[in-house]
Amino acid sequence: MREITLSQAVNEAIAEEMRRDPSVFLLGEDVAEAGTPFKVLSGLVEEFGTGRVLDTPISEPGFVGMAVGAAMTGARPIVDLMFGDFIYLVMDQLCNQAAKQHYMSGGKLTVPMVLRTNMGATRRSAAQHSQSLQALVAHIPGLKVAMPSSAYEAKGLMKTAIRDNNPVVIFEDKLMYQDKAPVPEEEYLIPFGEAKVKRDGRDITLIGTSSMVQVAEKAAEMLAKEGIEAEVIDPRTIVPLDETTLLESVKKTSRAIVIDEGHQSYGVTAEIASRLNEKAFYHLDAPVLRMGAMDVPVPFSPALEDLTVPTPQGVVENARRLCAGEMIHAA
Amino acid sequence: MAQAKTNTEDYLRMYRQMVRIRTFEDNANQLYLSAKMPGLTHMYSGEEAVAVGICEALTDDDRITSTHRGHGHCVAKGAEFKEMFCELLGKAEGYCRGKGGSMHIADQSHGNLGANAIVGGSMGIATGSALRAKLLGQDDVTVCFFGDGATAQGLWYEVMNMAALWSLPVIYACENNGYSEYTKTEEIAAGSITARAEAFGIEAHQVDGQDVLAVNELTQKLVARARKGEGPFFIELMTYRYHGHHVGDINREYYRSKDEEKDWKENRDPIIRFRAHLVSEGIASEEEIEAINAEVEKDASAAVAYAEAAAYPPADEVDMHIYAD
């Protein structure tokens, strides 16, 4: 199978859906000729024109709000938010407006829009261009949240998001744009709420989101050399969350670590760990561990920044201790 | 008064719609004061000529976005009393199945995209609706209602900029009732409000918001031009709210005098003015006017009684409509 980058996968997904459905359009800062700073959207304006690929002013609340209105009245906008950190600027439009329209109207209004943005530290971009803020939006009923872990997921999830009748936020890890993965030429979609078991194992379950799937996979390889067989699961969407697959795995392995690049406190890892504790408590041999980013603003200095995110080595160490029974009373 | 709608039927419908708004609000106020209505609500009384003058220039395909003070827009855009009172009382037969209430009432069937409880919160939605019309080659126009208080929100300047850049069919209708909640507008707004729209190259108008014909005449012209791609436009409608910021804002002399309220009610009331015009021009007799008033009153009483007796939504609807299929 051919291999393409995550960036190309996103581009293909959007182009295919724009060809399929004339109500799909793109808007955001520097999405047309520039194709975004990461060049993810390059070439789309040439095919679809400036009528459907709209460069906006630097007015995040304004253009996200306009996407909400366009979606409520029959279009399917894809909004490009250049950095995930800018979500703070659009919280009212996303959380008070987009997320609530369907419910507040008793099901009469719908907001079929996609907000694609990014996440991920270690790009030396410091505290306002490095955050992973998926927990903020996952907290809000009415929003769906997808976190692709490779080019394959990025394409299939994006196509599903565009066809979904709800506001969907997609977080792409900006360090993965050039990562290649096998992606079929033929069309496919990835349904929301279906986790993927990336590696089978019997001793411990490693649940990772986005780039943390790679971290978990690397950790699993290292653990295998020590005789610990880790199962790796990618939820793919955190809202909706495929609890069934996660619980089945944890009931089998009796141990789990949840890894996500958002801040650990009140985060995605906390939510998933809590659900596993509530629903698989009597199957567990150890507390479910959370591994998120440190609860610090992301520092600029490489020497400091690298300390803030989960690493394969860190996962290995925690997994080893869980499997050895060291953390039963002191997590 | 200015001349706009041209036949008797149109005039009488405009009169009736203004009376319907006033009557709706009088009933809603009573429901609140008698503790039959949960929550809080904001009365549109006094501003009827704005909503009616504008909405009578629109079709069902044209969209509006409304505000926390939104009952008038909802009625003017074609909503029915029964579903509106049901919504205000949180009943299942309300426009939003009781999930929105006064501050979120929406009526998709007539193009009302909904009231919004965030001041200025629907400015993006309205402009996005206009963007959709342009992108999909549809000829509807969107009117974005908001108050003078909302002109202090940054969102307005962001979306006006894009609306002007892309010539979007949106009309920003600022209902300047002189008060930003409990504060005089002159204390929160520097310079001129129309000049703010003009700074983006947007054609701006100021109109007497108590003169329904003047509002309607201007809006008809602007809607026709917006349909042809000449938008966006801005209208500042000088008006007055008879009640406080919300129904519980009773003792308000610390920010507004009773004499001022009396002056607007007695000398500039949009319904009294239009009624006098209809009679003096021989469009309707006093008897016909009284008959309309009585009929509206009867409709409202029946709708209130219906809503009071109507069922609340069943418990299983609490987690319904979070996501669309």
pLDDT at B186 over 90: yes
Confidence of residue B40 (pLDDT cuts 50, 70, 90): confident
CATH (residue range B8-307): 3.40.50.970
What is the least distance, in Å, from the CA of B165 to any CA of chain A? 10
CB pair distance less than 8 Å for B113 and A73? yes
Query: How far is C-alpha B264 from the geometric centre of its chain's CA atoms?
Result: 19
Q: Cβ separation of B132 and A70 shorter than 8 Å?
A: yes
Q: Find out whether B70 and B61 touch, Cβ atoms under 8 Å.
A: no
Q: What's the confidence (pLDDT) of residue B298?
A: 98
Q: Where are the alpha helices (DSSP H) in B152-257?
A: 154-165, 185-188, 193-198, 212-227
Which of A103, A168, A237 to mutate: most B Cβ within 10 Å?
Answer: A103
- What pLDDT, on the 0 to 100 scale, is given for residue B1? 64
Low-confidence ranges of chain A (pLDDT < 50): 330-331
* Mean pLDDT of all residues in B161-175: 98
Residues in chain A: 331
pLDDT of residue A327: 72
Chain B contact present for A72, CB below 8 A: yes
Q: What is the pLDDT of residues B190-246, one digit of tens each?
A: 999 999 999 999 999 999 999 999 999 999 999 999 999 999 999 999 999 999 999
Q: Is A104 on the interface with B (CB under 8 A)?
A: yes
Q: What is the CATH number of domain A3-182?
A: 3.40.50.970
DSSP symbols for B34-79 = TT-S-S-----TT-HHHHHHHHTT--TTSEEE--SS-HHHHHHTT-
Query: What is the per-residue DSSP string for A263-318?
Result: ESTTSHHHHHHHHHHHHHGGG-SSPPEEEEE-SSPPPSSHHHHTTSS--HHHHHHH
Q: Catalytic site residues of A? A: 60, 129
Fold match flag (A3-182 vs A196-323):
yes
- Tell me what the mean pLDDT of segment B7-18 comes to: 95
Chain B neighbors of A61, CB-CB under 8 A: 124, 154-155, 158
Give dist(CA B141, CA B229) in Å, integer. 10
Determine the Cα–Cα distance for residues B45 and B26; give it in Å rounded to an integer.
8
**Residue B279: pLDDT band with limits 50, 70, 90:** very high
CA distances to A53, B130, B144, B275, B281 from B135, rounded to whole Å, are 10, 9, 19, 42, 45
Phi, psi of B21 (to 5 degrees): -65, -50
Give the domain ranges of chain A: 3-182, 196-323
Say whether B118 and A52 touch across the interface (CB within 8 A).
no
Average pLDDT score, chain B: 96
CB pairs under 8 A between A and B: 149
B189: its two tokens: 């707004």
Q: Retrieve residue A324's tokens.
A: 């050895």
Task: Tell me if the domain spanning A196-323 has CATH number 1.10.10.60.
Answer: no
Of A57, A106, A144, the CB nearest to B100: A106
Does residue B70 have a pLDDT over 50? yes
Quote the pTM value.
0.96
pLDDT at B3: 61
Answer whether A59 sits within 8 Å of B162, measured CB to CB: yes
Of B104, B132, B323, the CB nearest to A73: B132
Look at residue B119 in the predicted model and tell me its pLDDT: 96
Closest CA to B19 of B105, B64, B65, B81: B81
Residue B4 has pLDDT above 80, yes or no: no
- ∠ CA A189-A191-A194, rounded to 5°: 135
Distance from CA of A286 to the nearest CA of B (A): 34
B132 and A108 within 8 Å at the Cβ level: the answer is no
A74 contacts B136? CB cut-off 8 A? yes
Q: Please indicate if any CB of chain A lies within 8 Å of the CB of B116.
A: yes
The pLDDT of residue B2 is: 60
Return the percentage of chain B with pLDDT > 70, whole number: 98
